[in-house]
Amino acid sequence: MNDDSLMDRMFRTFDHDSDGYLTCNEWLTGLWIFLKGNVTEQTTYCFQVYDIDGDGYLSKSDLFQLLKSSLRPAIAKAMPFGQRGGGPTAAVMGNNEDDPDEGPRDLSEMALSLLDRDLDGRVSLEDFLQSVQNDYLLMEILGSCLPSGARAAAVLAALSGNGTLPISVPPPTA
C-alpha cells in the first residue's frame, strides 16, 4: 500500500460517519487513539485501516492488496542494481515473470496463517487482537499506520506547553 492510499485509509478510519469530513470530535478521538491509545485501541485502529473493503474482516484479498503495494517499493529500494531480478530477495517477492503476483500472494497466505487464530480463513478483530497480544510486532505487519513513540511525543509536546492537552479530549469510542 503506498503512502497516499494508506493516508486515505487512515482518514476513513477517523471519519466514523463516512461523510467525507472530520468533525472536531472525530478528529480528536482519532488523534487521541493515534497518539496516546492503549494497545487494544491502537490494534483496533490498525485493523480498521487494514480492512480495505470495510466488511469487518481481513480477508485474503485485503491482505494481498496491502502486501502487494507496500512491499514492492520497499524491496525495490533496498535491492542494489546488480541484484535486481535475482537472489533471495527476488525469491521472496516472486520472480516469476508469468505471475508477478506470486510473491505477494504467498506472503498474504503466510500472514493469514499467522493471524487467523480460529482457522476460519479470515482474520476477525478478535483474531488480530489475540495475535498482537502474543507479539506486538504484528500490530503493523501489514503497513505502518502509527507514528513512532518519538514522533507521537513530539506532536503531543507541540499540542501542549505543559504536558496536558489544551482542550479536553473525549474518551475514545472504539
Binding region for Ca ion (CB under 5 A): 51, 53, 55, 57, 59, 62, 116, 118, 120, 124, 127
Q: Which is nearer to Ca ion, 59 or 89 (CB)?
A: 59
Q: Which is nearer to Ca ion, 1 or 35 (CB)?
A: 1
Least CB distance to Ca ion at residue 130 (A): 10
Q: Which is nearer to Ca ion, 113 or 148 (CB)?
A: 113
Q: How far is CA 38 from the centre of its chain?
A: 16
Least CB distance to Ca ion at residue 125 (A): 10
Least CB distance to Ca ion at residue 61 (A): 7
> What's the rounded Cα separation, in Å, for the pair 95 and 35?
39
User: Do 71 and 93 form a contact (C-beta atoms < 8 A)?
Assistant: yes
> What's the rounded Cα separation, in Å, for the pair 34 and 112?
25
Least CB distance to Ca ion at residue 115 (A): 8
Q: Which is nearer to Ca ion, 8 or 55 (CB)?
A: 55
Where b means 16+ CB within 10 Å and e means fewer, 62-89 reads: bbbbbbbebbeeeeeeebeeeeeeeeeb
Q: Which is nearer to Ca ion, 62 or 71 (CB)?
A: 62
Least CB distance to Ca ion at residue 131 (A): 10
Bridge partners of 58, per DSSP, are 123
Q: Which is nearer to Ca ion, 116 or 172 (CB)?
A: 116
Where b means 16+ CB within 10 Å and e means fewer, 112-125 reads: beebbeeeeebbbb
User: Do 75 and 93 form a contact (C-beta atoms < 8 A)?
Assistant: yes
Least CB distance to Ca ion at residue 53 (A): 4
